[in-house]
Amino acid sequence: MATKKAPTCLDLCVTTDDFEAAAKETLSEKSWIYASSSASSGLSHQSNLDDWSRINFRPRIMRNVNSIDTSRNILGRKSKLPFFISAMGTLGSSHPGAEPLLVQSATRMGVDAVISTATSKSLEAIMKAHQNEQERLGNLSPSRLAFQLYVPSDRTKARDLIQRVKAAGYQSLWITVDSSTQGKRTADRYLQAQEKLDQGGEVVRQAASDNAFGPAFGGRPTAGYLHPALNWEDLAWISQEWDGPVVLKGVQSVEDVKLAVQYGVQGVLLSNHGGRQIHSAPSALMTLLEIRTYYPEAFDKLEVFVDGGLRDGADVLKALCLGATAVGVGRPYYYALAAYGGEGADKCTEILTEELEICMKMLGVSTLQQLHPDMVNATRLLSEMWRPMTVRSRL
């Protein structure tokens, strides 16, 4: 939980990176390590950050950009913005108001949010906070909530959880598919080891919340929380329980995008879990380029989302130019919430939106529908993209 006052005035936060510095001064060591840590030596997380800068724009000039439309159709509904708040577990480690404050902000600002299974508050309480804010706004906000599902190994518990999500009114189900086990998060491992020494050899397992489906604090899984036997055939019974859009979260290869199309899901989220799972994972942008190169038909068959490492609203446009439907933003919102509460989350959306609008005008587009691959130069990433080992290799 937060232990110190935020060191700077919110008005001095000009970029999303400013929230990270403020959060580091605000959070306890344990909470900071949880939020900032990544797998092994951090290569996956670093590639997430670096790869955005390895794509350049090819702006067009002398175009009428007097009026800008940032709206986007996402899973059958119109969204005000082409980015959303990514799922983040145990948000109570950032701020005591946690998810309710975040979804109230999302609703005010008209941005969608994906809520984690590992919530600090109940999924019903989070939805209620969203609904209350909608009512306050006269139900005029386009914001809606999706639910990120860690499928419990106990199928009865999994069905019960899905039914609760459906009853609460979440719009879509985002199934996490990159977590058959917990990634080795080095900084957190050091912290656990130190805690064990400090406690005379006892393992410290502090509950993150009263959520039975959530992990222990620091993302340390509880028994049955992750499902190592989850497979493609499980989508059949999950779809029977859930009759809305399904998105697979954590897809990292073009082969699995082909399977996602085959199994009839409505979307895939290209993601390496914020660099927190497998060591040396591809960035979402690299996987996006794989799809564009080897299976461009995918963009007509399902919606492709991207998250990981985005820190600037202009980068949203890079992903959209390459075919993405929308982009998820995680840590900047966590840091903004930690340092400044709901007002910080508002400011994070404002910053990203302003950057998006500025870049649209400078790029020469007035609507997102005008974006296309020729508006970016991705040569540097393409030079390192995976290629089949032989000509006869089949995807």
185 is in an annotated binding site: yes
155 is in an annotated binding site: no
Note the pLDDT of residue 241. 96
Helix (H, G, I), strand (E, B) or coil at 69: strand
Is 58 inside a domain boundary?
no
Q: Measure the CA–CA gap between 283 and 277, rounded to whole angstroms.
A: 12
> Active-site residue among 95, 130, 227, 273?
273
89 is in an annotated binding site: yes
Q: Measure the CA–CA gap between 345 and 85, rounded to whole angstroms.
A: 10
Write the pLDDT tens digit of every residue in 192-226: 777 777 777 665 555 445 566 665 555 555 655 67
273 as an active site residue: the answer is yes
148 is in an annotated binding site: yes
Is 331 inside a domain boundary?
yes
Q: Measure the CA–CA gap between 240 and 266, rounded to whole angstroms.
A: 15
Q: Measure the CA–CA gap between 104 and 108, rounded to whole angstroms.
A: 6
* DSSP code at position 221: P
For residue 143, the domain's CATH number is: 3.20.20.70
Q: What is the identity of the amino acid at 218? A: G
List, in sequence order, every beta strand (DSSP E) within 158-288.
Answer: 173-176, 246-251, 267-270
Is 18 inside a domain boundary?
yes
Full domain range(s) for residue 345: 10-49+73-360
Note the pLDDT of residue 218. 52
Write the pLDDT tens digit of every residue in 84-133: 999 998 888 889 889 999 999 999 999 999 999 999 999 999 999 999 99
Residues 6+ apart with CB under 8 A from 135: none
Angle of helix 331-363 versus helix 313-321 axis, rounded to 10: 70
Note the pLDDT of residue 270. 97
Q: Which residues of 136-160 are buried (b: 16+ CB within 10 A; e: fewer)?
A: eeeeebebbbbbbbbbbeeeeebbe
Q: Measure the CA–CA gap between 332 and 309, rounded to whole angstroms.
A: 9
Is 162 inside a domain boundary?
yes
Q: Measure the CA–CA gap between 255 and 391, rounded to whole angstroms.
A: 16
Is 372 inside a domain boundary?
no
Note the pLDDT of residue 206. 54
308 is in an annotated binding site: yes
Tokens of 253: 């290869």
Is 367 inside a domain boundary?
no
Is 3 inside a domain boundary?
no
Low-confidence ranges of the chain (pLDDT < 50): 1-3, 6, 207-208, 391
Note the pLDDT of residue 205. 52
Query: In what helix (H) or strand (E) does residue 115 lie, and over which residues does it extend?
Result: strand 112-116
Note the pLDDT of residue 351. 98
Query: In what helix (H) or strand (E) does residue 22 lie, and over which residues does it extend?
Result: helix 17-26
Task: Specify the number of domains making up the chain.
Answer: 1
Is 4 inside a domain boundary?
no
